[in-house]
Structure 1
Amino acid sequence: MAQLRGAWDGRRRAVTLGMISNVIGALAAAGAAIAAWFTTMGQTDLTQWALILAGIGGVFVAKGTVILAIAESRPYAPQDGVLELQQRLTALENRLSSRNSGLVERFEQLEAEMANLRVRG
Structure 2
Amino acid sequence: MAEQSGVWDGRRRAVTLGMTSNVIGAVAAAGAAIAAWLSTTGQGDFTQWALILAGIGGVFVAKGTVILAIAESRPYVPHDGTAELRQSIGAFESRLSSRHKAMAERLEQLEAEVAHLRVRS
Q: TM-score range by the shorter chain?
A: 0.5 to 0.7
Deviation at 1:6, TM superposition (A): 4.9
Other-structure match for 2:10: 10
The reply on whether 1:28 has 2:38 as its aligned counterpart is: no
Q: Which runs of 5+ in 2 are unaligned?
A: 96-121
The 5-angstrom pairing of residues 68-107 of structure 1 reads: 68-88=68-88
Name the SS of the counterpart of 2:77 in structure 1. coil
Q: When the two structures are superposed, what TM-score results if normalisation uses the length of structure 2?
A: 0.66
SS at match of 1:87: helix
1:102 aligned partner = none
**Structure 1 equivalent of residue 63 of structure 2:** 63
Superposed displacement of residue 34, structure 1? 0.4
Alignment-derived partner of residue 105 in structure 2: none
| d(CA) in 2 for partners of 1:50, 1:60 | 15
Which 4+ stretches in 1 moved above 6 angstroms?
89-92
Q: Which has the larger radius of gyration?
A: 2
How far is the alpha carbon of 1:15 from its aligned partner? Answer: 0.4
Q: What amino acid sits opposite 1:67 in the alignment?
A: I
CA-atom RMSD in angstroms:
2.6
Separation (CA, whole Å) in 2 of partners of 1:30 and 1:91: 58
Q: Secondary structure at the match of 2:65?
A: helix
Aligned residues: 92
